[in-house]
Amino acid sequence: MKVTFSVIKADVGSLAGHHRVHPKQIEVAQRELQAAKDSGLIVDYFVTNAGDDLQLIMTHRRGVNNSEIHTLAWNTFKRVTEEVSKPLKLYAAGQDLLSEAFSGNVRGLGPGVAEAEFEERPSEPIVVFMADKTEPGAWNLPLYRIFADPFNTAGLVIDPKIKEGFIFRVLDMVEDRFVDLKTPEESYDVLALLGTTSRYAVHSVWRRHDGEIAAVASTTRLNLIAGRYVGKDDPVMFVRAQAGFPAVGEILEPFSFPHLVAGWMRGSHVGPLTPVPLRQSQCTRFDGPPRVIGLGFQLANGALVGPSDLFDDVAFEYARAKAMEVADYMRRHGPFMPARLDPGEMEYTTLPEVLKALEGRFRPGSEIGEAPRRR
Ligand code: F6R
Ligand code: MG
Ligand code: MG
């Protein structure tokens, strides 16, 4: 039987600045989703947080972009905002609910969405990744490694079902258009696009052997929706594992390298994506560093079995230590590029005002040989 796996998330306010979700927010979201489960709207759910982002992981039978499911998520975020974020005066209450004009689909209104419908296999392991203080392009490097790099994924070389390769559906987030590219033969083209993490992001990955969906990511860009800074579009994604898909260990392997991503303080800096256990899913130093959690589930007739907190393990201690060293090194640059993003990518900047104030004082290059005016 077909199951739909929906991860819908939003920052609707948080404890101690943009640090982490309040436990009461999780309780209210759980209450709402339990009622939806009791009424038969969804099969199962798990509520958690990635830093200051509230994460609704749901299974149901209604397909992707279903208005009842999206309404459930939207109303849940609204309730959490009204019942907890506002009364407790949590920081940036309701931040990601950008529009009052909700009409059955949360896409384009602020919350991030990753959804797929597929036939549940005899055993269906799924890994869900959720990050805070970064953007959808943060998944580009790990997704390339998981599905196209044989030095990461041994199955690309030795598993006949994976050997045929994958299709990367790559979204151009500026023009709102996408292109399907085949690996291995178009892998250089995939890399040419995915390297520009601010503009191109992987929407989904499909197995060429039989067209099965293998991974889905959220690809919202809040600042493009709102036309101004409204917080980072902290991304989520999930990946189906094993038996013809990459193994769980192959899916986790790229996160042993804490690669540099855009985000961190004021969405305007570059920092290492740090794999953390759930208990460390909170942002501290310089509002970060950017963090990712990884939860492993099994589906059992749509029910969510688990999760296992996959980065809560000695195998990722080295990555965390490396990330702290990189964080330290990057911070020594203060406001200098490339530790600080290019002005076009910064979420907010005073540069236009600084330039305006200095406008009358700029002089032509031909006068550069003259001594400075001392008054
Ligand atoms: C980044 C983020 C934080 C805030 C920062 C300033 O995505 O959420 O780093 O940008 O704490 O927040 P405000 O402007 O709300 O004081
Ligand atoms: Mg926030
Ligand atoms: Mg966040």
267 pLDDT above the threshold of 70? yes
| Positive/negative CA dihedral, 58, 106, 82, 237 | positive
pLDDT tens-digit series, residues 35-62: 999 999 999 999 999 999 999 999 999 9
**How many Cβ atoms are within 10 Å of 40's Cβ, its own excluded?**
9
Average confidence (pLDDT) over 259-266: 96
**What's the confidence (pLDDT) of residue 224?**
60
374 falls in which pLDDT band (50, 70, 90)? confident
76 pLDDT above the threshold of 80? yes
228 falls in which pLDDT band (50, 70, 90)? low
**What's the confidence (pLDDT) of residue 103?**
75
How would you class 189 by CB atoms within 10 Å of its CB: exposed for 0-12, middle for 13-18, buried for 19 or more? middle
Average confidence (pLDDT) over 179-185: 97
21 pLDDT above the threshold of 60? yes
pLDDT tens-digit series, residues 321-347: 999 999 999 999 999 999 999 887 776
SS3 per residue for 342-363: CHHHCCCCCHHHHHHHHHHHCC
354 falls in which pLDDT band (50, 70, 90)? confident
pTM of the model as a whole: 0.95
Q: How far is the CA of 283 from the centre of ligand 2 (A)?
A: 10
Q: How far is the CA of 53 from the centre of ligand 2 (A)?
A: 7
pLDDT tens-digit series, residues 302-321: 999 999 999 999 999 999 99
Lowest pLDDT segment from 155-159, 165-169, 281-285, 358-362? 358-362
Average confidence (pLDDT) over 210-228: 78
The Cα–Cα gap between 17 and 31 comes to 25
The Cα–Cα gap between 364 and 198 comes to 34
107 falls in which pLDDT band (50, 70, 90)? confident
Residue located via tokens 């309040």: 22
pLDDT tens-digit series, residues 117-146: 999 999 999 999 999 999 999 999 999 999
Rounded to 5 degrees, φ, ψ at 108 are 85, 0
Ligand 1 is surrounded, with C-beta below 6 A, by 17-18, 92, 133, 231-232, 265-267, 287
Q: Which residue is closest in CA terms to ligand 1's atom 4?
A: 266
The gap between the terminal CA atoms of the chain, to the nearest Å, is 80
Rounded to 5 degrees, φ, ψ at 44 are -160, 170
Q: Is 217 helix (H, G, I), strand (E, B) or coil?
A: strand
Decide: 149 and 157 in contact? Cβ < 8 Å.
no
The Cα–Cα gap between 290 and 267 comes to 10
Rounded to 5 degrees, φ, ψ at 273 are -75, 110
Q: How far is the CA of 50 from the centre of ligand 3 (A)?
A: 7
Which protein residues have their CB within 5 A of the ion that is ligand 3? 11, 52-53, 132, 234
366 pLDDT above the threshold of 80? yes
What average pLDDT does the chain have?
A: 93
Which ligand sits closest to the CA of 132? 3
Q: Is 257 helix (H, G, I), strand (E, B) or coil?
A: coil
Mutating to test ligand 1, I would choose from 12, 133, 265, 345 the residue with most ligand atoms within 8 A of its C-beta, which is 265
Task: Please compute, for residue 282, the number of CA atoms within 13 A of its CA located in the half-sphere on the CB side.
Answer: 12
